[in-house]
């Protein structure tokens, strides 16, 4: 495909629908002067369960491949571990596998070829001698305040932050060099880390890279992005259809408000771009809303601008918008759920990466209270509790290892 496209056309696909591009000239030089494919990477830290917001970077990966780019997907397992200890390393490794399954299933569900993608984990190279030495070098020129500011929109912020939160943005900057890319792609929330990389990598003798940023999908509440760490703001990739409808019905959706509306943003930045990919034609859009006859009957929109205009004028109600968006999300997730249900490995990665604290059907065992000898009826005989032998230390350790060991 890249042979058929001119450098100008390649650049247009690479930057299509992005919110911001830093150092665009680097991209143009690769395409026009060096006349080779652009090498870039997208990284994701496997923390909370992936949600529908992940469709946005997946759409851009499709654009990059269409432009003939060489794309690496970094499953940043060590970054996930450093993000305020959200999970131990053993669990993070399961989560990295789950993320890989999710990314591949999303891409295949929207007909994006994955055979040209390269997957790698951070731990496969970030524990090497050269990388470690670069961490020391970079930490010797980046101040504590600069590192904290760089990770402010990415690393979980707490009142007494751990040192790991300062290492996180330094590693993300160094990944550009150690992955051998020309550009890094991420959400606009990564901007401060991108600037940190641009300002400091040259001090280590490394070149500047271009940085590509996509829009962030608003969450289901009022304000804020859709976040893996906030279950009320997101819809998981393998969410049950009933839960999808319930969450969408509960979403913030003020009448006439098209600016602070996560559902309209989802239509604009997810639904329409996917429909364009599937039809291989730009400008394609279709949303069917099964509206009751007493409120005007079913309606179909073939233009996102027309839908926005109708909603802003309150010709389209929040209830009807929610109904149409919910069914569209259910349709998008259906092939992913099918892949999940058909793959024991996919299911195992999810189960081991996100173990239930209190599995369904498991009742908590009530502890008998020590009532002492001064309560009414204390003198009456009570049935003795059956004796159970305490577990030995060896048995306890074995059970723990069985729980955490990797497949």
Question: What domains, with CATH codes, occur in the chain?
Answer: 7-214 (3.40.50.620), 241-353 (1.10.240.10)
Q: What average pLDDT does range 224-229 have in this prediction?
A: 63
Q: Could you read off the pLDDT of 45-55 as tens digits, one per residue?
A: 999 899 999 99
CB 73 within 8 A of CB 42: yes
User: What's the pLDDT band for 154 if we cut at 50, 70, 90?
Assistant: confident
Q: Could you read off the pLDDT of 398-407 as tens digits, one per residue?
A: 343 333 333 3
Distance CA 322, CA 235 (A): 14
User: What's the pLDDT band for 395 if we cut at 50, 70, 90?
Assistant: very low
pTM: 0.83
Res. 385: pLDDT tops 50: no
Tokens linked to 37 = 């494919």
User: What's the pLDDT band for 361 if we cut at 50, 70, 90?
Assistant: low
Residue 406: exposure state from Cβ atoms within 10 A (0-12, 13-18, ≥19): exposed
| β-bridge mates for residue 118, sequence order | 72
> At 300, phi and psi to the nearest 5?
-125, 130
User: Kind and range of the H or E element at 139?
Assistant: helix 129-139
Q: Could you read off the pLDDT of 237-277 as tens digits, one per residue?
A: 999 999 999 999 999 999 999 988 999 999 999 999 999 99
- 84-98, 296-310, 312-326: segment of lowest average pLDDT: 84-98
User: What's the pLDDT band for 36 if we cut at 50, 70, 90?
Assistant: very high
Residue 83 pLDDT: 81
Among candidate residues 248, 239, 270, 264, the one with its CA nearest the CA of residue 102: 239
Dihedral sign, Cα of residue 46, residue 195, residue 64, residue 1 = negative
CB 308 within 8 A of CB 258: yes
């Amino acid at each position: 495909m890249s042979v058929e496209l001119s450098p100008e056309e390649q650049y247009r696909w690479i930057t299509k629908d992005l919110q911001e591009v830093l150092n665009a000239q680097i991209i143009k030089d690769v395409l026009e002067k060096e006349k080779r494919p652009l090498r870039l990477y997208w990284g994701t830290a496997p923390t909370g369960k992936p949600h529908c917001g992940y469709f946005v970077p997946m759409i851009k990966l499709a654009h990059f491949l269409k432009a003939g780019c060489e794309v690496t997907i970094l499953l940043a397992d060590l970054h996930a571990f450093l993000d305020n200890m959200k999970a131990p390393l053993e669990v993070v490794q399961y989560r990295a596998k789950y993320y890989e399954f999710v990314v591949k299933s999303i891409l295949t569900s929207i007909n994006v070829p994955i055979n040209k993608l390269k997957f790698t984990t951070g731990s496969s190279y970030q524990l090497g001698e050269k990388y470690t030495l670069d961490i020391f070098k970079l930490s010797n020129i980046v101040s504590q305040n600069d590192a904290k500011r760089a990770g402010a929109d990415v690393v979980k912020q707490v009142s007494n932050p751990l040192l790991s939160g300062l290492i996180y943005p330094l590693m993300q900057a160094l990944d550009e060099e150690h992955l051998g890319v020309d550009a890094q792609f991420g959400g606009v929330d990564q901007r401060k880390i991108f600037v940190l990389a641009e300002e400091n990598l040259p001090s280590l003798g490394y070149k500047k890279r271009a940085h590509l940023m996509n829009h962030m999908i608003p969450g289901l509440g009022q304000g804020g992005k859709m976040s893996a760490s906030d279950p009320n703001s997101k819809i998981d990739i393998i969410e049950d259809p009933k839960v999808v409808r319930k969450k969408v019905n509960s979403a913030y959706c003020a009448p006439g408000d098209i600016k602070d509306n996560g559902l309209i943003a989802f239509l604009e930045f997810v639904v329409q771009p996917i429909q364009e990919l599937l039809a291989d034609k730009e400008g394609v859009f279709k949303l069917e809303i099964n509206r009751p006859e007493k409120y005007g009957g079913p309606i179909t929109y073939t233009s996102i601008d027309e839908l926005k205009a109708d909603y802003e004028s309150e010709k389209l109600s929040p209830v009807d918008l929610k109904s149409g968006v919910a069914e569209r999300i259910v349709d998008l997730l259906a092939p992913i759920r099918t892949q999940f249900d058909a793959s024991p490995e996919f299911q195992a990665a999810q189960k081991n990466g996100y173990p239930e604290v209190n599995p369904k059907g498991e009742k908590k065992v009530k502890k008998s209270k020590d009532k002492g000898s001064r309560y009414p009826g204390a003198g009456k005989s009570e049935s003795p509790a059956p004796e159970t032998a305490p577990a030995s230390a060896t048995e306890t350790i074995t059970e723990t290892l069985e729980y955490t060991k990797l497949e």
